[in-house]
Chains A and B, each alone.
Chain A
Amino acid sequence: MLIRLAGGRVIDPANKRDGISDLWIRGDRIVAPPQGETPDAVYDVSGKIVMAGAIDVHSHIASAGVNTARLLLPENHSAHVARPEATPLSTAGWSTFETGCRFAAMGFTTVVEPAVPAHLALHSHLELADIPILDKGILTELGDDDYLLSLLRDGASKTAIADYVGTMLAASKGIGLKAVNVGGAVAIQNDVQTFDLDDVVPTYGVTSRQIVEALQQAAIDLGIPHPLHLHMNNLGVPGNIDTALKTIGATQGKRIHLAHVQFYSYGKEGKHGFSSAAAQLAEAINSAPKDVTCDIGQVMFGQTVTVSLDIIRQWNSRPMASPRKTVILDGETNGTGVVPYRYRSDNFYNAIQWACGLELFLLLDDPMRSLFTTDHPNGAPYTTYPDLFALIMSRDARAKWLADLPKEAVELTNLPSMTREYSFSEIATMTRVAPAHLMGLKDRGHLSPGALADIAVYNDDPDRAQMFRFAHLVFKDGDLVVRDGRVTHYRKGRTLTIQPTYDGMIDRRLARYYDDLYGVSRDLFKVPSAEAIGRDYAFEEVACGR
C-alpha cells in the first residue's frame, strides 16, 4: 500500500524541516517520494499540520496501582461518555481500551508506563495487552530492594550491581530503569518521616545519593538507551528546590532523567511558606550537562487521583484526599499509595503548583531536554494535554487562566510577564524528537524515509486545544486509525523492551536468594513469553549498546 499525504505543512524538527511538502508511506514505513508510481491512496492535507506520532515517556497507564485506583473510584467514570462507537469496550470509562483510543485521538502513538515494581511487571503487561493501537513500554522500578541495598552495603562491584539490574530488567521486560525516592521506603518502614538525598537508609548504611549513583552507573554500564529515570526525594514538599538542586549537582555529568520536576520547584517563602522556585530550577537544568533531561509533570485543575510508589509522599498526603478515601499498600518493596485529589483553581497552593509548571515550560530553554508530561494522573489526567498545549503556545490563553486564580498566588509568579509562546517546531521537538531520542527509539519521533509511519495530521485550528484534542488523521505503522478525532478500528500495538546482557551467574545467586528469603521461586516473578500474556501480544526489542 502506497499512501501520499499531499500538501501539508510538515513539521519535522529532527530534519530541520518546517514547510509544505508531501509525505509518502509504503507499508509501515515512511518512504522517499517514489518516482513514477501512483499511490493507492491520496489524502489531501493542505492547510493541515503534519507531525510524527507523539511519544509520552511518563504516564501511569497500566499497573497494579492504577488498577487499584480504578477499583477505588468507580465514581470517576461517570463523567465519561461514549466515544468511538464501533470498537469493543470503546465506551468504557477509564480503561485500557479507552487509554489507547484517547491517546491515539490526540496523535500519540507510543506511551511509556513509568513505575512498575519489578515484582509486579506481569500485571502491567496484562494491562498493556489490552491497550489498543499504541506501542508501549514499562520502566522497571528498583532502589529499595534488599538485594540491591545489600550489594551496596557490602561494597559489591559495579559489575555485580549492573548484573543484578540487568537480570531484573530482563525478567520484568522493561525498557528502562526507574527509581523512586530511593531509600525512602526503607526509611519510612523504620519510622523516618522525611528522607533527603544525603540521608542514610536505616540498617543498610548507604545514602540515597549512593543508590542513585549506583543505578545511574548500572544503566550506563548495561548500555540501556534510556538513562536512569529518577523520581527524586521530597516530592511536593515546600522548599524541596534544595533537594532538586543537590540532585542535579550529584549527577556528575552522567546521564539522568529527572521526572515531573514541577513537583520539585517549590520554595518556602511568603506567608503560606510555599512559593515558586521554578526559575532557580530551570536555571540549574539549563546550565547542567546536556545529558540531564527532565519532564515537567504539569498540574491542571480538576479531579484526579495520585498513584505513586513514593510511599512517604502518599502516606503524608492522606489527610488531603478528595474524595476522602485512600489505599495504602505497605509492602512489595516500595509500597503503593492511591490518594484521590482535586486540584482547585481557587486554592493558593494548587495555583502556585500550576504556575510553577508553566514557568518551567517557559524558562527551560531546550525542548530536547524538557519533555511534556502531566505525570498522568498525578498532576492531571492525560486528557488535559490539549489544554496544556494551548497554554504553552499562547500568552493570551495563559492570561485567561490567570484571571481565575487567587490574587495572592498570581502576585507570587512571574507568569504574567512571560511572553514565550511555543512554536509547532518546539512542540514537535518536545513531544516527538526528544522522547524518541531519550528512549533510544531510532525509528520514530521523526519523518525521515525509513522511519515508522506513525504520523499525526492536525487541523491548523487557532484553538490549539481543539486542534490537539482531535487529530484530523493518525497513522500507526502506516495504518489509518483515527479520522477526525475518532478511532476507526483497533490494531495491536507492540511492547518495547530491552534485553541487556549480563553475567548469568547472578540468576543462580538470585534463585537461591528468593528460595531462601521469600520461600518462593524467583521464576514466579518472571514475565513469561508474549504468547502466554495474551493473544496477539508482542514484544519488540530496542537495542542496547555499550
Chain B
Amino acid sequence: MKAFVEGAAVGLDAAAAAAARLLGKARLPVIAGLGTDVAGARAAIALAERLRGAYDHLASDVLLRDIDVMQQISRMVTTPGDVRLRADCVLFVGPKPRQSWRELLKQLNLASPPRLAAEKKARKILWLGPGRGEAAEVGATKIAAPPGTLPQTIACLRAAVLDRKTRVNGALGRKLADLAAQLKEARFGVIVWPIESFDRLTIEMVNGLAVDLNRERRFSTLPLGRATNAQNAVQTSGWMTGFPIRTGFGRGYPEYDTWRFDANRMVEADEADAALWISAYGAESPKWKRAIPFIALSKPETRFPYAPRVRIDVGTPGLDHDAVEFSREIDTFVATKATKASAAPSVADVIGLIDQNLTKGSSAC
C-alpha cells in the first residue's frame, strides 16, 4: 500500500489529512468514478453530503440511458437464473453481448432444456443482428441487421408481433414476420441485449417489444453490462438519498440531475473546484481535461492525465478485502470474502480517515 502527496510518498494518515484539507476548502467538490463496493459507495455518498458536493459514477453515460428509459417509459426485466431455468425462447439482440461477461453462456446453460419450464424441450435460440460468427456459436437462428438499423428493425418486429403493417417488405419483412410468429409461441421468452451499445430509443424498443409479447405469454428482457459494480453505487445511492447517481447536495438536500451533476461537465465548466476520484476495481482515470486539483483512491498502475495532488492506492473489493458487492450471477448483492487478503486499505477505510480529519468530533452517518 502506498500513499503520495504532491508525488512524495507519505503515510496513510498524512495523505488522508492532505485530502481532507483539499476537500474541506473546496467550494463545490465532486466525487467521481465511484468504482467501489457498497461500503465505499456508502462512505463516499455520506462524504458528499458532508462536503455539500456532488457524486457521479464512471459508467454513468451507459447506466443512465437505461435508468432514463425506465423513468420515462417502463422496464421489463428478468434475471440470468430465470433465463437458465425457465426461458424456452431466447432472443439475442445486437452484437457482442458477451463482451461484458465471458461466462455468460455457461451461466445461461442454453444447450440444456429449461429445468423449471412446464415442457422440458430444447430451447429456441434466435439472434437479431449478431456479430460475425456469434449466432452459429450458440446455435441461434440468425436474422441479420446492421447495428445502425436496430431501432427500426425492432420497431418493425413489434409491428409484426401486433399484426400491423410496416413499410418493410420483401425478404426482411418475411423474416421478421416469421420471427414474430416464433416469439409469440414462447411460454417464457427473454430478450438478451447489451447495455453498452444501445441508445435510448433502442432500449425503449426492446422493453416495448417485451411488453407487447406479454399480451398472451410471458416475455422479459435481460440487459447485460460491463459495469456490474456500478450497481453498488446506484443501489446504495437509491436507498441513501432516494435518487440514482448524479446527485448533488449543494443546496443542503439531495437533488438528482443528470446534467448538472455530470462530473466531467462540472469540471470542464469550472463549477467543481476539487475532485475525489475513486476507482478500486480497475485502473480507470478521470476523463476531464481541465486541471483541477484532485485526490485519487486508485490502483497503483493507473495512468492519470495529470498528477493527482493526493494519491492513495486502495485494495480491490473481494480480492484484497471482504466486500459486499452486486453479483450479476444472482442479480443481487453478495458478501464476498477476500481471495488474496492484503493490507491495502478499502475505499471505505480511506474515506473514514478523510472524514475524521474533516470534522473532529461529529461523526458521519
Contacts and interface: CB of A to CB of B under 8 A. Distances in A.
Task: Say whether chain B's binding surface is mostly helix, strand, loop, or mixed.
Answer: mixed
Interface in A80-134: 80, 82, 87-89, 91-98, 119-120, 122-123, 126-127, 130, 132
A146 B84 CA distance: 14
A93 B242 contact: yes
B75 A328 contact: yes
A518 B70 CA distance: 28
A77 B243 contact: yes
Given A190-B118, A532-B324, A96 B239 contact: yes
A127 B38 CA distance: 11
A524 B331 CA distance: 11
Chain B interface bracket (under 10, 10 to 19, 20 to 34, 35 or more) = 35 or more
A327 B70 contact: yes
Interface string A69-84: 0111110110010100
A409 to B, nearest CB: 31
B365 A62 contact: no
A543 interface: no
A146 B79 CA distance: 16
B70 A71 contact: yes
A198 interface: no
A188 B218 contact: yes
Nearest to B118: A203
Interface in B128-149: none
A331 B81 contact: yes
Contacts of A119: 330, 332
Nearest to B76: A328
Contacts of A519: 84, 106-107, 109
Contact of B330 (A74, A202, A524, A534): A524
Interface in B197-239: 214, 216-218, 220, 234-236, 238-239
A534 B39 CA distance: 7
Nearest to A66: B239
B217 A191 contact: yes
B218 to A, nearest CB: 6
Interface residues of A, number: 62
A246 B17 CA distance: 67
Contacts of B218: 188-189, 191, 330
Contacts of A73: 71
Interface in A39-69: 62, 64, 66-67
Nearest to A328: B76
B234 A71 contact: yes
Interface string A141-177: 0000010000000000000000000000000000000
A329 interface: yes
A505 interface: no
B244 A71 contact: yes
Interface in A174-201: 188-191
Interface of A: 62, 64, 66-67, 70-74, 76-77, 80, 82, 87-89, 91-98, 119-120, 122-123, 126-127, 130, 132, 146, 188-191, 202-203, 315, 325-332, 490, 517-520, 524-528, 532-535
8 contacts: A77-B254, A92-B240, A92-B242, A94-B242, A130-B42, A328-B74, A330-B82, A534-B42
Instruction: Give the 4 A-B residue pairs with the shortest CB-CB distance, closest first.
Output: A88-B365, A331-B82, A91-B253, A528-B335
